Structures are given as C-alpha cells and as structure tokens.
Structure 1
Amino acid sequence: MKDISKERMSSVFDLKLTVQPEHIDVLGHVNNVVYVSWMQDVATAHIEHLGLGLAQYIELKHAMVAVEHHVQYRKAAFEGEEIILRTWLSDINALYSYRQYVFYRLKDQTVLFMGNTQWACVEIATGRPKRMSPSFTQAYQPISAAENPMDFSQYHPVVEA
C-alpha cells in the first residue's frame, strides 16, 4: 500500500469537467441527480489522490460510506460549460468524516451548487460501524484553517474528468 505518512494529507481538491448532453434534463439544464453523482465522483477522485482509495479499502477491509447528504442548488449549469467540482474534508472523528463540496462555473466563478456529506467508517464484510484505522485518520485530515476553499482564484490538484 502507498505510504501516505510523508505526503500532505488533505487539501482542497478540484475536478474539472465539461457538461455533456447526458447531464441535461427536460428543462435544458443539468439535472439535480447529476450533482449528487458528481459529489460521489469528486469524493472518489479526491480519496484516490490522497492514496487511500477504493483498492486500499478492500485491502484494509473497511470503507467510508455516505450516511447523510445536504445539498443546495444555487444556479443552473448548461451543456458545454466547464465546471469545477471542488471538495475538501472539514472534520473527522473516530467513526465519521465530513466532506464539503462547492461546484462552480469556471468562466465566471459562479457558485452553482453547495453540499456536504457525512461519511461513516464500516467493516466491509459486515457493514457494521468500525473505528477508523490510523491509515484513514492520517489521510483524511481536514484542511487547514488558513486555506479558503471559496477562493476560486486558485486551482488545487485539478483532475480532468
């Protein structure tokens, strides 16, 4: 398994994508369900970037699963627009991590969507709650208080979707 102890553990993470025709609903803008799917996509890309992703979950025999989402739709997104899916970890304890999201349109830095998810650590074989191993608590640290996730003038590790 990748040694994450020597790396920066967590920071704001950006995933850039272009809105595709399949993201659009009958009203001509990105469908609400797509935003929730994007929450999963950017969270998965972020944990992979941190070196503690899905393959490591299997190896460690425990995983993080979503238990609660809060979402706020602010503005519509349209086909062809470039969108930044931004996420970061805001808190952690023995059983839960808390992830924040803000999705914004690149050309005008307009916030389209905000959300957060509470993730619980579970044992894969049983689905029962499990205290996070040191691998998890080291990798999934909240961002520094000095880091402003709403500063759109800076890109963070950007991955193209």
Structure 2
Amino acid sequence: MSSIFDLKITVQPEHIDALGHVNNVVYVSWMQDVATAHIEALGLGLKEYLELKHAMVAVEHHVQYRKAAMEGDEIILRTWLNDINALYSFRQYAFYRPKDKAVLFTGNTQWACIEIATGRPKRMSPTFTQAYQPLADSENPADFGIYDASADE
C-alpha cells in the first residue's frame, strides 16, 4: 500500500500573478512536483523509469481552485494514489494551508503507463503495480492533523 505523501513549500514571489495570489498554472506545476517527489519516495524515479524502459505520463487533470494562496504562505501539497489498473493509475491532490487548515486546491490526475522508446501504451510491470497501490481505506487524506514531515522541502 502506498500512503499519503506531503510536501511542504513556501509561496515565493515567482508564484504570484498580477492579481497578487498564486497563479493557477503554478498549482498544476505543483501537482507534477508532488507526484514526482511521491514516486521517488516509492522507489520509482526517473532513473528507475529509464532502467525499466517504461514510465507514467499524465493524460488527464481535473482541478478545483478553492481559496487563494499568497506570497509567504506555507502550504502542504498532499497527494495519494486512489486507484490502479493494468494501464492507468489515478492520483488525488489536496493542497492546504496548515495555519488555518484551509483547503486551497483539490485535483486528480489519470496517469498512463507508456513504453519510453515508442510512447505507446504498455501494461504496468509488477514493479509499478506493487509501488502504485491505492491508499488504504483506513487512511483519511482529509485529516489535516496528520502530516508526513519526512517530505519537507
């Protein structure tokens, strides 16, 4: 089973748009950042992708912007896997501000397994299916009282 994965960041000036809050595109970039950090923690980073000759690529994102984040805000980027099949894994995200437990952003991504050389769909190897297990039912990703401090920046 995989678990909830948290990455703590601080909003920097380059994340801010003309309206004075985090730009929408930055949140999508953060989805990629936290997913990458999570798979590396699971032992399937770029090095392993290249060795195995297949990788996961994003095919669909759904996002919901809920509250604005401002420069200097500390934010927890939370992610977890919620489903898997032979070709796809499904990842959820909830980004929140710990000081007030405000959920700023939620989203999900469908990831497809591809053969790197051809870009064609490929069934996941056992290495992938073992690492990409969905979150256990006993874990509650909406419980912001728990925090994985091992993932701090």
TM-score by length of 2: 0.98
Report how far residue 144 of structure 1 moved.
Answer: 0.3
Q: Partner residue of 1:26?
A: 18
The answer to whether the aligner puts 1:100 opposite 2:92 as a matched pair is yes
Report how far residue 160 of structure 1 moved.
Answer: 2.5
Contact 1:101/1:114, CA 8 A, preserved across alignment: yes
- Output the aligned Cα RMSD: 0.8
The answer to whether the aligner puts 1:74 opposite 2:66 as a matched pair is yes
Equivalent residue runs for 1:105-124 within 5 Å: 105-124=97-116
Q: Partner residue of 2:151?
A: 159
Q: Partner residue of 1:131?
A: 123
Equivalent residue runs for 1:43-54 within 5 Å: 43-54=35-46
CA distance in structure 1 between the partners assigned to 2:136 and 2:10 by the alignment: 29
Which consecutive residues of structure 2, in runs of 5 or more, have no partner in the other structure? Answer: none
Equivalent residue runs for 1:57-68 within 5 Å: 57-68=49-60
Q: Partner residue of 2:9?
A: 17
Percent identity, aligned pairs only, is 80
Contact 1:16/1:158, CA 8 A, preserved across alignment: no
CA distance in structure 2 between the partners assigned to 1:108 and 1:11 by the alignment: 24
Which consecutive residues of structure 1, in runs of 5 or more, have no partner in the other structure? Answer: 1-8
Contact 1:13/1:157, CA 8 A, preserved across alignment: no
SS of 2:26's partner is helix
CA distance in structure 1 between the partners assigned to 2:107 and 2:13 by the alignment: 23
Q: Partner residue of 1:85?
A: 77
Aligned residues: 153
TM-score by length of 1: 0.93
